[in-house]
Structure 1
Amino acid sequence: MAERLAFIPPMEPKLVVKPPEGENWIHEVKLDGYRSQIVINGPDDIRVFTKTGADWTKKYAGLVDAALELDVKNAILDGEAIVINETGLPDFNALQKAVHDNPYAMYLGAFDILHLDGRDLRDLGCQTRREILHSIIKPNSRIQFSETMPGDAKAIFYLADQAGLEGIVSKRADSKYRSGPTTNWLKTKSFTEDEFELLGVKRERGKAAFAYLAEPGSGKYRGSAFITLGRDMKDRLWKRVQDHAGPRPEVMKEKPEAEWVKPGIKLRVKHLRGDHAHIRHASLLGFGDEE
């Protein structure tokens, strides 16, 4: 009797500034959703797990139904759960809502397969695993194959950026599947600009200054951004900080050297697209009321 399949920690791509060059790479669009793993142990035992191994089977009922349609005895599929908007693009906000109230709204962009019908596929090359995965995907299903994008990596990334997508993931065609961080898979993310509300700033002698930022309206902490403005803009920012000095916001812990401000200062910020909880690689561009 075959051993029952269980969740396997996913292979995690390293974030890089630009996509790799060379012919031994597979490039895919990076879908803006939740990394998900479908574990199939027959028609009566199909589960869907998050990146960290949490069982979200009930939240992904539509994906379970789609997995039932696959002509497999057992399998483990790796992919990204998404909800698409009216233009056909992934909508992360809609996904967050659907997780709580619509378990049939999700699609899975499947990009890898770890097990199939009693065989461990992780020692096969990525290209070979993807060919096997493609062969079992059904048309018009909520489980769709994440297609390889043809062409030069720089051109692919440029097109993804212009389309408002999160970026691309590049994988060595011969790479084996190994759980955890790896340099055999690389992700290149696009930047975007958003407006945030200033909570405070931190300035220490000899170190780069940075700003604490919140979601406008809600006051929810979203992360920090380096203050890389020119001297004139920096001087104007410091003046606003002094003029709007206030108590420490409730959402923030006590931080030495921090100068807190009252609500009202809006800033334009450049950050990586798709960072929904806390922004990363962020820098200030200017004031929100001076666009």
Structure 2
Amino acid sequence: MEPKLFRVPPKGDDWIHEVKQDGYRTQVIKDRDGIRLFTKRGYDWTGRFAELAGEARAINAESFILEGETIKINATGLADFNALQKAVGTGRARDIYLVAFDLIHLNGKDLRDDPVERRREILQGLIPAGNRIQFSEAMPGTGDAVFHLVDMAGVEGMVSKRKGSRYRSGPTTDWHKVKCFQSKTLDIIGVQRDPGQAVRVLMADKGRYVGAAIVNFKHDQRQRLWEQVQGLTGAPPPKELKKEKAQWLRPGLVGEVETLKGEEKLRHASLKRAWRQ
């Protein structure tokens, strides 16, 4: 079940609000074949998440399918996606957690038609205390109040779930996600145009490459950007980006980028405007 992205949280009292953890969506299955962990795309990562597989054995049930987000915590106590990627890249991630938020099957019973509140209530009762598999607590208050808190805390965002909703695989408006973004002004050092993909600008902060941002400009803005780019092409690629295929630019073009809050490098970033210095 995939939440739809919105710019603002839903209003009213018909919603449950949770912190959106920054990690890998994970499904934990226990059946006659044992315990297995799968990613959102269906990859079997039981071996990579062996620590969590061991923790799942403490859940007192004959069989279950639960869902959550696998995360790794940084020194400030927040989920750190970059640290999780590095840990997974070693082949077996250590010191990771799974924040469980939904229960789909339990002891042979299909729970997908149960209201989300009931599924979460049963799930909370299953999760042992002190385990690396933890329950995703609902946050009290209105959607606006919760979003203000998560924005101030520096987490990725929030997910709101419509009370009484059933579990249905695929995109849904019964779940809303709202992400916390911030604006940054950065140097544009290159432009990538790959067939069938959105145009991207490559960005640097004080000479250090920080990632790419998608260009979603309307025609007149896009044309103005290309005119600014043409006067600066021909620069050599930075050492760390020599393998990248791009138009490299001399200094002089900067852009305002909207990107996920609290990240060292750009994530889910888009270019909002650009200008010559």
Shorter-normalised TM range: 0.7 to 0.9
How many angstroms apart in 1 are the aligned matches of 2:55 and 2:187?
39
Return 264-273 or 121-130, whichever deviates more.
264-273
Counterpart contact for 1:40–1:75, Cα < 8 Å: yes
> The residue matched to 1:279 in structure 2 has which SS?
coil
How many angstroms apart in 2 are the aligned matches of 1:95 and 1:215?
24
Shift of 1:245: 1.3
Matched, 1:212 2:200: yes
- Which residue of 38, 43, 66 maps to 1:49? 38
Residue in structure 1 matched with residue 9 of structure 2 by the alignment: 19
Counterpart contact for 2:2–2:169, Cα < 8 Å: yes
Residue in structure 2 matched with residue 269 of structure 1 by the alignment: 257
How many angstroms apart in 2 are the aligned matches of 1:251 and 1:167?
31
Shift of 1:277: 8.3
Counterpart contact for 2:113–2:167, Cα < 8 Å: yes
Shift of 1:24: 1.3
Matched, 1:244 2:232: yes
Residue in structure 2 matched with residue 100 of structure 1 by the alignment: 89
How many angstroms apart in 1 are the aligned matches of 2:47 and 2:24?
15
Structure 1's 267 and 142: CA in aligned 2 closer, same or farther, altered over 3 A?
Answer: same
Counterpart contact for 1:165–1:190, Cα < 8 Å: yes
Shift of 1:41: 1.4
Shift of 1:45: 1.2
Structure 1's 196 and 150: CA in aligned 2 closer, same or farther, altered over 3 A?
Answer: farther
Q: TM-score, normalised by structure 1?
A: 0.77
Counterpart contact for 1:58–1:103, Cα < 8 Å: no
How many angstroms apart in 2 are the aligned matches of 1:66 and 1:222?
38
Counterpart contact for 2:233–2:250, Cα < 8 Å: no
Amino acid at match of 2:45: W
Structure 1's 58 and 286: CA in aligned 2 closer, same or farther, altered over 3 A?
Answer: farther
Structure 1's 56 and 201: CA in aligned 2 closer, same or farther, altered over 3 A?
Answer: closer
- Which residue of 179, 188, 198 maps to 2:189? 198
Which structure 1 segments of 5+ residues have no match?
1-10, 203-209, 254-259
CA deviation string 1:26-82 (max 9, x = no partner): 00010111111111115x611111101111111101110110111111101111110
Shift of 1:268: 4.2
1:161-176 equivalent positions in 2, closer than 5 A? 161-176=151-166
Shift of 1:283: 1.7
How many angstroms apart in 1 are the aligned matches of 2:250 and 2:139?
45
Structure 1's 227 and 35: CA in aligned 2 closer, same or farther, altered over 3 A?
Answer: same
- Which residue of 67, 77, 92 maps to 1:88? 77
Residue in structure 1 matched with residue 109 of structure 2 by the alignment: 119
> The residue matched to 1:134 in structure 2 has which SS?
helix
How many angstroms apart in 1 are the aligned matches of 2:203 and 2:274?
16
How many angstroms apart in 2 are the aligned matches of 1:144 and 1:86?
19
Which structure 2 segments of 5+ residues have no match?
238-242
Length, aligned pairs only:
259
Shift of 1:247: 7.8
Amino acid at match of 1:20: P
> The residue matched to 1:19 in structure 2 has which SS?
coil
Identity of aligned pairs, percent?
A: 43
Counterpart contact for 2:213–2:257, Cα < 8 Å: no
Shift of 1:104: 2.6
Amino acid at match of 2:70: A
Shift of 1:215: 5.4
Residue in structure 2 matched with residue 36 of structure 1 by the alignment: 26
How many angstroms apart in 2 are the aligned matches of 1:176 and 1:271?
32
Counterpart contact for 1:199–1:211, Cα < 8 Å: no
CA deviation string 1:228-287 (max 9, x = no partner): 9xx9xx98x77863442128976348xxxxxx3436555441234489886345424768
